[in-house]
Amino acid sequence: MTGARVGLIRTLGAAALVAAALTASGVAVLDPARTAGATSALLLAIVALAIVPKGGARRAVALAAGVAATWALVARIGPEFRGDAGSYFVYLRSAVFDSDLDFRNDWEGLERPLPAALPDGRPMNTQSVGPAIAWSPFFAAAHAYVRWERAHGRVRYAADGFAPPYRRAAALGTPAYVLASLLLLGGALAGRFGRRLGWTALGAAVLATPVVYYTLVVPAMAHGLTFAACAALLWACLRARDAPSPRGWLLVGLLLGLAALMRWQSAVWALFVVTLALGDLRAGRVRPTWLAGGAALSLVVLAPQVLAWRALYGRWLTVPQGPGYMDWSAPHLADVLFSADHGLFAWSPIAWLALMGLAVGLRRDTLVHVGALLVCAAAAWVNGSVTDWDWAAGDAFGARRFDVAVPLLAWGLAVLLRAAAPALARAPLMAPAALLLVLAAWNLGLVALFRRGGYDGAVPLDRLASDQARQTRGLALRAAEAVAGPRARALVYKHLSGEYLHDVHPDGIVELAAEDRLLLSGWSPRVNRSEAPYSRWALAPEACLLLPLPAAQATTLAVQARAPRRALPQTMTVAWNGEALGEAPLTAEWSESTWTAPREKTRPGENRLCLRFANAAPGEDGGVAAAVSRVSVRLE
């Protein structure tokens, strides 16, 4: 068999494998009941990459395999439909199923409260229409999947536009668009700064900012798409500057309109485009007609948003949140940059390095860097102009409204790395890459903490550093146990902590009203010191604490608790390292219940004690299940 025929067979085989990977990973994203297919999809993508021969087909297979792998990751993470996701979704659902912009039935189908009403009674929509357009092919794929399932006798989902596959369609679209934009911008950065340096800078900018969160965790908001459009726009601007042509400037205009269509705040990118255009016009490298054509195309692309505003608000241009939403004097400029409550530099400290790079490069490429700094400054000004009640962007992850600036932050990082290279001649990327890796790990750790319900508002550095350290220690403990068993976990705990329960509480008694360090989830933030014994509320369905012990040995546990009257009848089950030891009834009077955890159920190092409750009484802190005064631990 000839080499050409073998190569053809390998190419066809790789194409078939990557098609299967795309199908399996796509279904795993759309259908929460089929996420198990994500693992097989990832393996298929890896095999496809391994067997495809070098040549023109390899790039296409690599791109498809990258999309499949990214979808598999999204499926394993579990995309969330939260925040403003509903506002973007109803545009798409209403247009496809109702052919109108009346969102009343769409919000009811989502089982969410109706937003404020317009004068004609229709719910208002303050978000942009662009994401709905971008996600429409994937919404169609979700509809086809639901219809296929129903045609084959599987009727888990109604073909009504509300079922989970429809809501998760954005989790296919956003990662695919972001990956495509990364390939474009990564290639441009690699061409200017070298392959390793350019991709290192871009990867750090994505992983150490909210972009990674809004691409993989909450893809149904506009921020991943906004980053993708702005990244593609930066690529197009650089391309048009290197090789000026009418087609190049038309592409710039198209992508500028597209970025503004995703989020109207992206219009600040016009400052970058105008800066480059004026410089090239002065140098005689472009013609006015080219620029006029690009500007006209931008307006054409932006037309769907303008038409939607006209249909909803009766005006071609508007601030949909209302006239009091923006104070253009930017009273919150310092807040959106520096505050621990969603400030750019507090949540994404890598931005300091990126802005240093943009400043360092001013002399070398003045037009690009002036334009980049103007965009960053304008984005900060616009974000700082948002009203008092929303400048921090609600319960968002990080400074999400700086999504428009992240591609420029990647450029700034690349410039800074290049400037630092002479000082690090032997290994020019080692130290910078290590620093960027730490910043990316810090951001990913913050994503994990945020998803568990922490830091909806400010991120106090002292508490965040403590939580990050605890989280890192937990990862190290789990990794040690997975690789070498419980003894390795105990050894790692001894090395990283070395502090055990009886070192902190010599008598083995944990007073809940005075304890913070050992508490895990399910406890109220406040304590009751108005009556003896002092106590803390345990919240339903489960409240847990950590009990580190030096060795595995039989342990007697005693819990003193009572139930609030509104939670009666109440039953408390005690679980030790995930296994129930027994249960006891609780009354309105204080009582102490005792259990023994056998040696074989006890671990050297951290042990988890959880109190599980059958009922709960409503309260300020949520479902109040019991008042717990103390937990006594005696080693046998």
Containing structural domain, residue 388: 170-451
CA–CA distance, 281 with 283 (Å, rounded to integer): 5
Whether residue 487 is found in the same domain as residue 524: no
Whether residue 526 is found in the same domain as residue 579: yes
Structural domain includes residue 457:
no
Which residues, 6 or more positions from 290, have their beta carbon under 8 angstroms from its beta carbon? 244, 245, 246, 249, 250
CA distances to 268, 401, 412, 519 from 355, rounded to whole Å, are: 17, 17, 6, 40
Question: End-to-end distance of the chain based on CA atoms, in angstroms?
Answer: 74
What is the torsional sign of CA 241, 242, 245, 250? negative
Please say which residue of 36, 56, 77 terminates a domain.
77
Calculate the dihedral angle through the C-alpha atoms of 146, 149, 155, 159, rounding to the nearest 10 degrees. 20
Structural domain includes residue 100:
no
CA–CA distance, 195 with 207 (Å, rounded to integer): 18
Q: Which of 244, 248, 109, 108 is CA-nearest to residue 166?
A: 109
Contact 291, 251 (CB under 8 A): no
Whether residue 7 is found in the same domain as residue 43: yes
Please say which residue of 58, 77, 96 terminates a domain.
77
Mean pLDDT of 89-113: 93
User: What pLDDT was estimated at residue 438?
Assistant: 80
Could you give the percent of the chain with pLDDT greater than 90? 61
Contact 522, 543 (CB under 8 A): yes
159: helix, strand or coil: coil
Structural domain includes residue 158:
no
533: preceding bond cis by omega (within 30 degrees)? yes
Asked whether residue 435 carries a pLDDT value surpassing 80, the answer given is no
Residue 83: count other Cβ atoms within 10 Å of its Cβ: 19
Structural domain includes residue 141:
no
- pLDDT tens profile 217-250: 999 999 999 999 999 999 999 999 999 999 999 9
CA–CA distance, 411 with 241 (Å, rounded to integer): 16
Whether residue 366 is found in the same domain as residue 507: no
User: Which helix (H) or strand (E) element contains residue 370?
Assistant: helix 366-384
Structural domain includes residue 317:
yes
CA–CA distance, 38 with 31 (Å, rounded to integer): 11
Whether residue 476 is found in the same domain as residue 535: no
User: What pLDDT was estimated at residue 25?
Assistant: 94
User: What pLDDT was estimated at residue 12?
Assistant: 85
- pLDDT tens profile 183-201: 999 999 999 999 999 999 9
Could you give the percent of the chain with pLDDT greater than 70? 97
Q: Where are the alpha helices (DSSP H) in 122-269?
A: 130-151, 164-167, 170-193, 195-207, 211-216, 223-242, 246-262
Whether residue 377 is found in the same domain as residue 479: no
Contact 521, 544 (CB under 8 A): yes
Whether residue 528 is found in the same domain as residue 466: no
Structural domain includes residue 126:
no
Mean pLDDT of 598-609: 89
pLDDT confidence band for 446 (50 / 70 / 90) = confident
Whether residue 392 is found in the same domain as residue 267: yes
Whether residue 406 is found in the same domain as residue 470: no
Whether residue 368 is found in the same domain as residue 228: yes
Asked whether residue 620 carries a pLDDT value surpassing 70, the answer given is no
Whether residue 552 is found in the same domain as residue 488: no
The CATH number of residue 529's host domain is 2.60.120.260
Asked whether residue 443 carries a pLDDT value surpassing 90, the answer given is no
Structural domain includes residue 555:
yes
Contact 583, 571 (CB under 8 A): yes
- pLDDT tens profile 136-146: 999 999 999 99
Q: Is 357 exposed, middle or buried (0-12, 13-18, 19+ CB in 10 A)?
A: buried
Structural domain includes residue 156:
no
Which residues, 6 or more positions from 111, have their beta carbon under 8 angstroms from its beta carbon? none
User: What pLDDT was estimated at residue 621?
Assistant: 47
Residue 506: count other Cβ atoms within 10 Å of its Cβ: 8
Q: How many domains does the structure of the chain reveal?
A: 4
> What DSSP state is assigned to residue 397?
S
User: What pLDDT was estimated at residue 271?
Assistant: 98
Whether residue 345 is found in the same domain as residue 483: no
Mean pLDDT of all residues belonging to the chain: 90
- pLDDT tens profile 451-502: 877 777 778 877 788 788 888 888 888 888 888 887 788 877 777 777 788 8
